[in-house]
Amino acid sequence: MTILYILLAIIAYYIYRIYRQKEDEKQAIVDEKFDAEWEAKKKEEFSDYPHLIGKVDYTWLELFGRLYVETDKNHPGRWQNGGSPHLNAAFMMYLKESNNTERDIIEVDHLFDSLWDLTEELFEHLEKYHESTKYEYEIAIISFWQLVAQEAESFKGKDFEAIKKMFQSAPFTDIEKIASWFPKKDNHPVKELSFRDKEGNFLRESEGSKIIHERITV
């Protein structure tokens, strides 16, 4: 009888395993269907920004995309005059990090200076040599700086060498990916814009962009 009970217990266990596996598979199908439907809904919702889908988190697309739509609606023609809340906001994020009195490491400030100069250079490059729908460049730039600002919060208590090493990885190096999101125009140079010096070090020196800097109104 003992052997029989053990055998019945083993059978019951395997029946449960099979049942649980089937239920898990059913739930996976439901979850997969939900994920697919949610993804399709988001792609439709943000169809105005086709080059950013899958590249920029939907949270930032909604926040920064909606900000543009609402501002454009309330202030028609503002963009033609050079005003850009996203460029201004990204610039303020840069200023906050490059003038962080709590950190007070001037070499780190210089890293942020270089990153911003390259950001301006990238912005001008995108407008000249890449195609996009309205506002995509600006959303890409401010989303990048949002992630940079978040990561910079982890600098507290670290020395310059540790921070410099962090600058060699994401999200800081993600700026190198942005140009690849947008199709090249016919006038695009043979080589893509580089953010590294001749030795391959990130970040290289840059003078920024006078054209883009003049649009900053803060």
| pLDDT tens-digit map of 187-208 | 999 999 999 999 999 999 999 9
Residue 5 has pLDDT above 60, yes or no: no
Which tokens go with 121?
Answer: 């250079």
Residues 80, 170, single domain; the answer is yes
| pLDDT tens-digit map of 124-133 | 999 999 999 8
Residues 208, 142, single domain; the answer is yes
Residues 22, 113, single domain; the answer is no
Predicted confidence band of residue 172 (pLDDT cuts 50, 70, 90): very high
Contact criterion met (CB below 8 Å) for 119 and 175: yes
Contact criterion met (CB below 8 Å) for 187 and 129: yes
Please report whether residue 163 resides in a domain: yes
Distance CA 217, CA 202 (A): 29
Domain that includes residue 77, residue range: 58-213
Quickly list H helices, 46-105. 58-74, 85-98
Contact criterion met (CB below 8 Å) for 147 and 174: yes
Please report whether residue 218 resides in a domain: no
Q: What is the mean pLDDT of the chain?
A: 83
Residue 35 has pLDDT above 60, yes or no: yes
Please report whether residue 209 resides in a domain: yes
Please report whether residue 52 resides in a domain: no
Residue 47 has pLDDT above 90, yes or no: no
Distance CA 158, CA 142 (A): 25
Residues 18, 62, single domain; the answer is no
Residues 39, 85, single domain; the answer is no
Residue 51 has pLDDT above 90, yes or no: yes
Residue 37 has pLDDT above 90, yes or no: no
Distance CA 61, CA 42 (A): 10
Residues 97, 3, single domain; the answer is no
DSSP conformational letter for 202 = B
Residues 201, 103, single domain; the answer is yes
Cα angle value 76/214/179 (rounded, 5°): 85
Residues 8, 102, single domain; the answer is no
Q: What is the pLDDT of residue 4?
A: 45
Residues 122, 180, single domain; the answer is yes
Please report whether residue 160 resides in a domain: yes
Number of domains in the chain: 2
